Amino acid sequence: MIDVVEIQKILPHRFPFLLIDKVTDVVEGERLTGYKNVTIGEHIFQGHFPGHPIYPGVMILEGMAQAGGILAFKSMGIGPDEIANKVVYFMSIDKAKFRNPVRPGDRLEYRVHVLKHKGSIWVLQGEAYVDDVLVSEAELKAMIVDK
Residues of the domain holding 56: 4-146
Find the catalytic residue in 48, 52, 113, 117. Answer: 48
Cα torsion 72, 56, 92, 94: sign: positive
pTM of the model: 0.95
Number of domains in the chain: 1
48 assigned to active site: yes
- CATH assignment of the domain containing 119: 3.10.129.10
Nearest to 75 by CA among 19, 110, 117: 117
Residuewise pLDDT in 10s, the chain (147 residues)? 999 999 999 999 999 999 999 999 999 999 999 999 999 999 999 999 999 999 999 999 999 999 999 999 999 988 888 888 999 999 999 999 999 999 999 999 999 999 999 999 999 999 999 999 999 999 999 999 998
Can you tell me the distance from the alpha carbon of 69 to that of 82, in angstroms, rounded to the nearest whole number? 14
- Are the C-beta atoms of residues 44 and 17 closer than 8 Å to each other? no
Q: What are phi and psi of 106, to 5 degrees?
A: -80, 150
